């Protein structure tokens, strides 16, 4: 089977009509699409096909999307994940992001928007090829997209990496949450500014006290060159 131009995407969706709509639009954009209808098949498909991304419905039978994402991240599998769900509750969004999902879209959605978000997540995962940066105990290499703390590797999602790289590329410049959504995520405040807070919290949890991010109360966040 020929390799699709943009690589394979696993789509885990138990609603056949929605799954076929997603397949149609992703295929038109050059992606190969492998459809599955339950969580355990989603795990098998990711392990077998090594896709460029996973479009993952939360409400899957057998093993839900949250557990699928949790299992993959527990295996150090950082395939970009975009959650699709009918639930629009902030608690669900935050839980998904805390588990290491890269984006979140609620039903009903525009299939064109979903394709655009998949492409945005993949652009973040590819990233620009630039030099490494040392920030106190934290080293960030944009070419290999690797981060280390005290020479210990730290696994970040593509979105977490891009948020960190963007902040430290502009030391001491203060960004509002809306600016970060627009620049890093590629779309405006429809995603909810809480998304930014969750990703910053995840970065601080992973990087510890050496995280080169400071909160500017009432405004947003800024990068800085390590702790003083």
At residue 223, the 3 state secondary structure works out as: strand
In sign, the C-alpha dihedral spanning 94, 96, 99, 103 is negative
| pTM (global) more than 0.85 | no
Q: Which residues contact 28 (CB under 8 A, 6 or more apart)?
A: none
Alpha helices in 52-193 (DSSP H): 65-74, 90-98, 111-126, 158-168, 177-180
Residue pLDDT, tens place only, 50-98: 999 999 998 899 898 989 998 998 888 888 999 888 766 655 666 666 7
User: DSSP state, 224?
Assistant: -
E strand spans, 27-173: 32-36, 53-57, 81-85, 103-106, 132-135, 138-141, 146-149, 152-154
Residue 116 tokens, joined: 């655009």
- The full set of domain ranges for the chain reads 8-126, 132-223
Burial (CB < 10 A; 0-12, 13-18, 19+), residue 151, is exposed
The CATH class that applies to domain 8-126 reads alpha beta
Residue pLDDT, tens place only, 119-175: 888 876 665 444 577 777 888 887 788 899 988 999 998 889 989 988 888 777 889
Residues, the chain: 228
Residue written as token pair 């006290």: 209
Residue 187 pLDDT: 64
Residue pLDDT, tens place only, 195-217: 889 899 999 999 998 889 999 98
> Nearest to residue 55, comparing CAs of 29, 81, 37, 36?
81
Angle 115-193-15 from CA coordinates, rounded to 5°: 35
Phi, psi (rounded to 5 degrees) for 136: 65, -125
Q: What does the alpha-carbon distance between residue 33 and residue 10 come to, in Å, rounded to a whole number?
A: 6
The CATH class that applies to domain 132-223 reads mainly alpha
Quote the longest CA-to-CA distance of the chain. Answer: 55
Q: In what order do the strands lie in the sheet with 152-154?
A: 132-135, 138-141, 146-149, 152-154
Residue 119 tokens, joined: 């492409």
Answer yes or no: same fold for 8-126 and 132-223: no
């Amino acid at each position: 089977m020929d390799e699709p131009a943009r690589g394979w995407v696993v789509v885990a969706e138990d609603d056949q009509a929605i799954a076929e709509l997603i397949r149609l639009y992703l295929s038109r954009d050059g992606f190969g699409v492998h459809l599955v209808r339950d969580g355990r098949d989603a795990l098998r498909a990711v392990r077998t096909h090594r896709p460029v991304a996973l479009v993952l419905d939360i409400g899957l039978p057998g093993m839900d999307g949250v557990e699928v994402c949790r299992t993959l991240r527990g295996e150090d599998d950082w395939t970009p994940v975009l959650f699709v769900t009918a639930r629009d509750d902030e608690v669900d969004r935050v839980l998904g992001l805390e588990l290491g999902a890269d984006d979140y879209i609620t039903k009903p959605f525009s299939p064109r928007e979903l394709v655009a978000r998949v492409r945005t997540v993949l652009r973040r995962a590819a990233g620009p090829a630039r030099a490494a940066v040392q920030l106190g105990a934290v080293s960030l290499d944009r070419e290999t997209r690797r981060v280390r703390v005290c020479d210990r590797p730290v696994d970040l999602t593509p979105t977490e990496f891009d948020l960190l790289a963007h902040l430290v590329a502009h030391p001491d410049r203060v960004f509002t949450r809306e600016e970060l959504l627009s620049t890093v995520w590629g779309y405006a405040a429809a995603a909810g500014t809480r998304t930014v807070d969750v990703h910053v919290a995840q970065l601080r949890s992973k990087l510890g006290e050496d995280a080169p991010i400071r909160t500017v109360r009432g405004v947003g966040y800024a990068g800085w060159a390590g702790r003083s």
